[in-house]
Amino acid sequence: MSYLYITESGSVMSIDGGYFVVTHKDGGIHKIPKETLESAAMFGNISITTPCVRELLEKGIPLSYFSSKGAYYGRLESTGHKNIARLKFQIYRSDDEDFSLCLARKIIFAKISNQMTVLKRYARNRSEDISDSLSMMKISRNKVDSAASSEELMGFEGTAAKFYFAGLSKLVKGDFEFKGRNRMPPKDPFNSMLSLGYTLLMYEIFGEIENKGLTPYCGFLHKDRERHPTLASDLMEEWRAVIVDSVVMSLVLGNEVDINDFTADEETGGVFLNSKAMRVFIGKYENKLRTMNTYIDNINMSFRKCLWYQVNSLVRAIEQNDPEKYLPVIIR
């Protein structure tokens, strides 16, 4: 299946016979057969024709809108994936403190475990000592199952994250050196790529949640707040390091992006990818989602399919009122 990302300003998306067509400002044309397109995303000043919008809606193909810097605006989608009974169960379970806490513990345990694995992978055959970070993260992870509240649990998660990024920063040298996580806006190129990747991942999961008849706006770990898809935030936690951080580290250590591919906003102090870096990043990110692995039931599947299985696992937990039915993904 095809996942379409349109990043070139001035492009137009339309339909022509059996194809979705992207016409670029320089006259270049890219065609995608209608039956193969799974989803589309537009970044910046991109136009779409009304017949194309109608075709996307009729075929149930979601279209996401982002700014040229990667900020999420919204989503065009049909109403074909609504399940009111399942939605009611989700809301009931989210109000159940025991259910929510049990589920949240599983998510955070997996998140910290995955962060530790990613750190170990990138520290392999390198001289930097990250043993202190790993030791402190392990202590936090060992406390997860004893957390008596979501606030206490998030405290353990925050401590682990602090030492994770401290360890990660030791492995990044030169132009992309960073001093830990910062955002809204990101203040350096490394954090700029992390922020973009987390946004893309969140709305990838957002779509999977809606496809299963759940709402992304009713979570179990993060506190619900207006206009924030808390359930998508919950489910992406165990994938941040696995997918996004790994993509960023690969781009930096492999010299696939250059420090000159980033621009600073004088007004906000934010640092953002230029159009070239955006294309490189999105290509790497999409390839990561297509990467095959055997993390679930020893079945060979892509990371994108793993996200689908993850949401299915949550649906079982919700419908059977048993948080133990949720099986987080822990990489090796």
Q: For the segment 3-32, what is each residue's pLDDT rounded down to a tens digit?
A: 899 999 899 999 998 899 999 988 889 999
Tokens representing residue 178 in the block:
């960073």
Picking from 156-165, 237-246, 264-273, which range would have the lowest pLDDT averaged per residue?
Answer: 264-273
Q: Mark whether 114 and 55 lie in a shared domain.
A: no
> Is residue 163 domain-resident?
yes
- Taking alpha carbons only, the member of 332, 15, 331, 328 closest to residue 145 is 328
Q: How far apart are CA 132 and CA 270, in angstroms?
A: 31
Tokens representing residue 311 in the block:
């949401």
Contact 175, 259 (CB under 8 A): yes
Apex 283 CA angle, 293 and 110, nearest 5: 40
325 pLDDT above the threshold of 90:
yes
Give residue 1's pLDDT band: very low, low, confident or very high (50, 70, 90). Answer: low
Last residue of a domain, one of 48, 76, 104: 76
- Amino acid sitting at position 197: G
Q: Mark whether 121 and 156 lie in a shared domain.
A: yes
162 pLDDT above the threshold of 80:
yes
> Is residue 330 domain-resident?
no
User: Cα separations (Å) of 45 from 11, 35, 38, 140, 303?
Assistant: 8, 26, 22, 44, 30
Q: Please, what is the average pLDDT of the chain?
A: 92
> Is residue 331 domain-resident?
no
> Is residue 110 domain-resident?
yes
Give residue 265's pLDDT band: very low, low, confident or very high (50, 70, 90). Answer: confident
Please give the pLDDT value at position 174: 86
Q: Is the dihedral of CA 209, 211, 212, 218 positive or negative?
A: positive
Q: Mark whether 128 and 215 lie in a shared domain.
A: yes
Q: Mark whether 296 and 312 lie in a shared domain.
A: yes
Q: What proportion of the chain, given as a percentage, has pLDDT over 90?
A: 74
Last residue of a domain, one of 36, 54, 76: 76
Tokens representing residue 165 in the block:
């990024």
> Is residue 298 domain-resident?
yes
Contact 331, 117 (CB under 8 A): yes
> Is residue 332 domain-resident?
no
Tokens representing residue 143 in the block:
């406390």
DSSP conformation class of 286: H
Q: Mark whether 52 and 179 lie in a shared domain.
A: no
- For 131-145, write each residue's pLDDT tens digit: 999 999 999 999 999
- Amino acid sitting at position 168: L
Q: Mark whether 27 and 142 lie in a shared domain.
A: no
- Looking up residue 65, the CATH number of its domain turns out to be 3.100.10.20
* Overall domain count for the chain: 2
Contact 205, 311 (CB under 8 A): yes
Highest mean pLDDT (candidates 39-43, 124-128, 296-300): 39-43
Q: Mark whether 18 and 58 lie in a shared domain.
A: yes
Tokens representing residue 30 in the block:
């890219």
Q: Mark whether 125 and 252 lie in a shared domain.
A: yes
Q: Mark whether 290 and 201 lie in a shared domain.
A: yes
Tokens representing residue 231 in the block:
């359930």
Apex 249 CA angle, 243 and 254, nearest 5: 125
Q: Mark whether 228 and 118 lie in a shared domain.
A: yes
- Looking up residue 305, the CATH number of its domain turns out to be 1.20.120.920
81 pLDDT above the threshold of 70:
no
> Is residue 51 domain-resident?
yes
> Is residue 247 domain-resident?
yes
User: Cα separations (Å) of 243 from 32, 54, 198, 212, 291?
Assistant: 26, 33, 9, 22, 10
Please give the pLDDT value at position 77: 81
Domain hosting residue 252, numbered range: 84-325
β-pairing verdict for 299-302 and 262-264: unpaired
Element at 74 (helix H, strand E): strand 72-76
Q: Mark whether 110 and 42 lie in a shared domain.
A: no
Last residue of a domain, one of 37, 60, 76: 76
Give residue 164's pLDDT band: very low, low, confident or very high (50, 70, 90). Answer: very high
80 pLDDT above the threshold of 80:
no
Picking from 20-29, 152-161, 295-304, which range would have the lowest pLDDT averaged per residue?
Answer: 295-304
Q: Mark whether 111 and 57 lie in a shared domain.
A: no
- Taking alpha carbons only, the member of 73, 72, 76 closest to residue 63 is 76
Give residue 83's pLDDT band: very low, low, confident or very high (50, 70, 90). Answer: confident
